[in-house]
Amino acid sequence: MHKDVERILVSEQEIEEIVGRMARQIDADYGKEDKKLLLLCILKGSVVFMGDLMKHLKTPLEIDFMRVSSYGADTKTTGNINIILDLVRKDIKQCDILIVEDIIDSGRTLSYLKRYLEFKGAKSVKTCTLLDKPERREVKFDADYVGAVIPDEFVVGYGLDYDEKYRALPYVGVLKRDVYSK
Ligand code: PRP
């Protein structure tokens, strides 16, 4: 275990099981109809989950990427999200988009992105998250596929960072308090 990690919250083996289960659910929903599944990875945190999930899926799919960030100090009150890398596709009206996130916290990112992609004309928009922290919610939002509901703790690993570090850890761990309260 990494020296800055207090304890493992979701182990490698648990993640493997969770991703397998989610992939089976997604295959059941997207594999049967005439759908054009587009997995949309929200950079950077979702990149590890996205890589694993797409390997497990049997449904034919395409992938794409967006990068967003909270929009300055106003975010809490306005819910503004800043698009750093946009989705540019001529075929968006034919796409059944599944947004892939590592974690839902306030709910603002996914709530905004879902509305944004629907406004852009996507055929359908659903959401999928590995981790969900409902205690932190500021806007009402439920993802269509949730891997694990977790308590309100500072988690890193499997894509999630603190100050851009720890993303490559193969598990989700709770960061030691003294690392971020220095
Ligand atoms: C995290 C996470 C989600 C968002 C969730 O991204 O990956 O995109 O925050 O928070 P919310 O529910 O409160 O909107 P972050 O801004 O840390 O960027 P990163 O993925 O590049 O680390």
* CA of residue 119 to ligand 1 center, whole Å: 21
H or E stretch covering 127: strand 124-132
Measured CA to CA, the distance from residue 29 to residue 47 in angstroms comes to 23
Domains of the chain: 5-70+82-180 (3.40.50.2020)
Instruction: Please give the model's pTM, rounded to 2 decimal places.
Output: 0.94
- In this structure, the residue with its CA closest to atom 20 of ligand 1 is 45
pLDDT by residue (tens digit) across 29-69? 998 778 899 999 999 999 999 999 999 999 999 999 999 98
Please state, rounded to an integer, the average pLDDT across all residues of the chain: 93
Pocket test for ligand 1, best of 70, 109, 155, 175 (most atoms within 8 A of CB): 109
What is the strand order of the sheet 61-70 is part of? Answer: 81-85, 61-70, 37-43, 96-104, 124-132, 145-149
